[in-house]
Structure 1
Amino acid sequence: MRPEFIGHTSNREGSDIVPASGPVIDKTYIRNHVQAAEAAGIDRLLIGQFAQWPDNNQIAAYVFSQTDRIGALLAHRPGLMAPTLGARQLATLDQFSEGRLWVHIITGGSDTDQARDGDFEDHDTRYARTDEYLQVLRKVWESDQPFDHEGRFYRFKGAYSQVKPFQKPRIPISFGGSSDAAIAVAGKHADIYALWGEPLDGARETIGKVRTAAIANGRAADDIRFTLAFRTVVAETEDAAWAKAADILEKVKSQVARSAGGNGEKLPSNVGSVRLRQAASRGKVLDKRLWTEVAEASGAGGNSTALVGTPEQVADAILDYYDAGVSNFLVRGFYPTEDTVTYGRDVVPLVKAGIAERQARKVAAE
């Protein structure tokens, strides 16, 4: 599979520093945003899932209806529905989009947000449930005969779906979660593992753990590809980029001061957030240009580190992650449409050129 460059879309305009505006479901904003992303060369858009947001399956359907090529990375939370129903919903979306869907499994980093949908299981129990959920999900997609299932969390008799994914053998499964329990499940089921924008040493450590988990499940180390989720602050000069970053930081701090932060948790307790805060404690800028101050100021409730600089500098930093084993690069914008377009138009071609050079050198050396 080729590297993918991924953006983000939501139900309306808004971000850490851009106040939400427009109707809760702003079709005009979504249409303009996703079409701009597609025109800028973005391959796929993350569509998140939260207990208070509109249904992201239907947002994905609308995105597909308004575009010709761009794919979706659709967040999906096990435990909120039966895996048989989830399998049919996702396969139906994949058929209508003619194979433009990846599913991104989110087991639930926030106890507060899980509780809003009636899920009060503890962290490790949720991951055990996700393991069984994915077993059933995959079997529904791949089985040509009805089957029975009896496990710890789910019981079915005669489970079967007429609709199968457009993609064969199935929809690619992306997986999020940095705890040991999460990595164990990822090693068993994930086609793509997503990590937040940690420093290079942390990214290498996580990639190594996931590959070890894959091997423990009888898979090859390279069966799993990796996605890095980060932010970008890009300008024509490095000084202009850092001035822009300083302005963003002040706006983030103002927003944090006005709200409780995140999903009701001052300091999110999930392992991914903890790792970003630990990275931030090591310095404001790590490696070449990984900026950590927003993660520190916000509590790192999501992908909150950023690469700051000119397009060439940011592309060079991204290529360091490619060399570490990352093949997909996901950017969520502080200014959603502007940052997505800048990333696709100005940064992505440079990264693609760098990857092509590396691949050509590898072929020549063989």
Structure 2
Amino acid sequence: MPPPPRGARRRVRVPAISAARVSSRASASGARIVAHRGAAPHRRRPFLARSVRQEFRMNVFWFIPTHGDSRYLGTAEGARAADYDYFRQVAVAADTLGYDGVLLPTGRSCEDAWVVASSLIPATKRLKFLVAIRPGLSSPGLSARMASTFDRLSDGRLLINVVTGGDSAELEGDGLFADHDTRYAITDDFLHIWRGLLAESHENGGIDFDGEHLSAKGGKLLYPPVQRPHPPLWFGGSSPAAHAIAADHIDTYLSWGEPPAAVEKKIADIRARAAARGREIKFGIRLHVIVRETQEEAWRDADRLISRLDDDTIARAQQAFAKMDSEGQRRMAALHGGKRGSRQELEIYPNLWAGVGLVRGGAGTALVGNPEQIAARMREYAALGIETFILSGYPHLEESYRFAELVFPLVKGGGNTRRAGPLSGPFGEVVGNQYLPKASQS
């Protein structure tokens, strides 16, 4: 039997199982979780992901720009209203074009991710939503109920993004006063409770948990989620504390778009940590993308995206990032050094451009090039073990179509345009009012 998660001792009390078969292990912290079940024996280990290697498939997600959208960074010029109508357009486009899901950002710079994602459920048919839970800002019990309800109403289309947070000023504004490592300790307690509540809900059970920072007594969910044991957990973080959380709890680890060698090191560390706990983890990467029919067009549009930036705007953004205690943000800033630089200086690896990170927090790199170059870089990351690419481009509506048109045909399993019937397209405009266009005019 695989070992229990770090930092917890678990004891299952089921009348049909003798005391000799009850597993109980103590942790250094002394945390203890007890599951109480009122239904038939439930023999699944709810706190460990299934250690089964599934067939590889490249998944492609898009992004709902709830913190604004524009043709240029750092200016209101070229901006568009970030409202429900626009979010719906982007979501419907992603759903129709064959993207596997969408990420919704979280934080005070965005509209609330849960409200927006909930509003998009009826507008979409199969699109999955990657939505954040925030340990320390909401209770694990409340977050578990929100997740279960969303999963039920969307018929199992919820994915959970665990965001510990790295901006102390924002977190203190939201009422959380804790240093970096304490926040991750809170996240550990939070996830033990959150996962336990959802896993036990399938058997009408409940939990007690005594952690270092968070506890629960008689915790219970009456409405279980569609997905078992709970919606999959996604997570990103570059510090040792973050990697430990990933190894213990997470189903898919997300890296920001660093050069392949750096991503490979993170994957190796997390994979080894998870293996020591009897677990396997999937991996994804978060990138922007600027793809055009030719590489010259792509680089010209990359330059255009930051053409309205001035030195003062860049300096103010970098000063804000420097105050954060996020290791991931520090690594993003190190890629460009806080300076605009030349196109060659910002191309930190072939077709990997750090210009976005001059003023954008979080994911700050973009794949830039023609379709073949973009597909080649994606395959390079995939060879390291990356299965999911979460992409975005400015402006997000148009770029969702452009990427699907130019790159999907080159990426195996990367998405398929949904077709309602044999004459539903896509095939372009009918020629001469009689003929369907050829597949290729070249």
Q: Could you state the TM-score of these two structures normalised by the residue count of structure 1? A: 0.88
- Give the drift of 1:56: 1.4
- The answer to whether structure 1 residue 97 and structure 2 residue 159 are counterparts is no
Structure 2, unpaired ranges of 5+:
1-53, 338-343, 416-442
- The answer to whether structure 1 residue 294 and structure 2 residue 356 are counterparts is yes
Q: Indicate conservation of the 8 Å contact 1:132/1:151, yes or no.
A: yes
Residue 237 of structure 2 is aligned with which of 168, 177, 180?
A: 177
Q: 2:62 maps to which residue?
A: 7
Q: Distance in 2 between matches of 1:267 and 1:12?
A: 21
- Give the drift of 1:288: 2.5
- Give the drift of 1:47: 0.8
- Give the drift of 1:290: 0.9
- The answer to whether structure 1 residue 236 and structure 2 residue 298 are counterparts is no
Q: Encode CA deviations 1:119-147: one digit per residue, 9 max, x unaligned.
A: 11111000011011001111001113222
- Give the drift of 1:317: 0.8
- Give the drift of 1:345: 2.8
Q: Distance in 2 between matches of 1:167 and 1:313?
A: 37
Structure number with the higher helix fraction is 1
Q: Encode CA deviations 1:10-55: one digit per residue, 9 max, x unaligned.
A: 3374256274543x6x221111111112222211110111135332
Q: 1:118 maps to which residue?
A: 175
Q: Counterparts in 2 of 1:121-270, with a 5 A limit? A: 121-143=178-200, 144=203, 145-219=205-279, 223-251=280-308, 253-254=309-310, 257=313, 260-261=316-317, 264-265=320-321, 268-270=324-326
Q: 1:345 maps to which residue?
A: 405
Q: Encode CA deviations 1:220-266: one digit per residue, 9 max, x unaligned.
A: xxx21111111111111111111111111223x24962884389445
Q: Distance in 1 between matches of 2:249 and 2:355?
A: 34
Q: Are the structure 2 counterparts of residues 196 and 66 from structure 1 closer, same or farther at C-alpha, using a change threshold of 3 Å? A: same
Q: Indicate conservation of the 8 Å contact 2:149/2:225, yes or no.
A: yes
- The answer to whether structure 1 residue 77 and structure 2 residue 134 are counterparts is yes
Q: Which SS does the other structure have where 1:10 is aligned?
A: coil
Q: Distance in 2 between matches of 1:187 and 1:196?
A: 18
- The answer to whether structure 1 residue 64 and structure 2 residue 121 are counterparts is yes
Q: Distance in 2 between matches of 1:332 and 1:262?
A: 22
- Give the drift of 1:304: 1.1
Aligned residues: 347
Q: Indicate conservation of the 8 Å contact 2:104/2:129, yes or no.
A: yes
Residue 277 of structure 1 is aligned with which of 323, 333, 344?
A: 333
Question: Partner amino acid for 1:71?
Answer: K
Q: Which SS does the other structure have where 1:331 is aligned?
A: strand
- The answer to whether structure 1 residue 109 and structure 2 residue 109 are counterparts is no
Question: Partner amino acid for 1:311?
Answer: P
- Give the drift of 1:187: 0.5
Q: 2:91 maps to which residue?
A: 34
Q: Which SS does the other structure have where 2:386 is aligned?
A: coil
Q: Indicate conservation of the 8 Å contact 1:5/1:348, yes or no.
A: no
Q: Indicate conservation of the 8 Å contact 2:167/2:323, yes or no.
A: no
Q: Distance in 2 between matches of 1:165 and 1:116?
A: 32
Q: Encode CA deviations 1:239-298: one digit per residue, 9 max, x unaligned.
A: 1111111111223x2496288438944564411122223333594323331112333x33
Q: 1:359 maps to which residue?
A: none
- The sequence identity of aligned pairs, in percent, is 33
Q: Are the structure 2 counterparts of residues 128 and 99 from structure 1 closer, same or farther at C-alpha, using a change threshold of 3 Å? A: same
Residue 86 of structure 1 is aligned with which of 139, 143, 151?
A: 143
Q: 1:303 maps to which residue?
A: 363
Deviates more, 1:40-49 or 1:255-264: 255-264
Q: 1:361 maps to which residue?
A: none
RMSD: 2.4
Q: Distance in 2 between matches of 1:174 and 1:83?
A: 16
Q: Distance in 1 between matches of 2:319 and 2:137?
A: 18
- Give the drift of 1:81: 1.4
Q: Encode CA deviations 1:43-86: one digit per residue, 9 max, x unaligned.
A: 11101111353321111111111111111011221111110111
Q: Are the structure 2 counterparts of residues 85 and 277 from structure 1 closer, same or farther at C-alpha, using a change threshold of 3 Å? A: same
Question: Partner amino acid for 1:212?
Answer: A
Q: Which SS does the other structure have where 1:313 is aligned?
A: helix
Q: Are the structure 2 counterparts of residues 188 and 97 from structure 1 closer, same or farther at C-alpha, using a change threshold of 3 Å? A: same
Structure 1, unpaired ranges of 5+:
356-366
Q: Indicate conservation of the 8 Å contact 1:76/1:106, yes or no.
A: yes
Q: Encode CA deviations 1:322-357: one digit per residue, 9 max, x unaligned.
A: 0111000011222111222222332133112699xx
Q: Distance in 1 between matches of 2:63 and 2:371?
A: 19
Q: Which SS does the other structure have where 1:244 is aligned?
A: helix
Q: Could you state the TM-score of these two structures normalised by the residue count of structure 2? A: 0.73
Deviates more, 1:125-134 or 1:273-282: 273-282
Deviates more, 1:43-52 or 1:60-69: 43-52
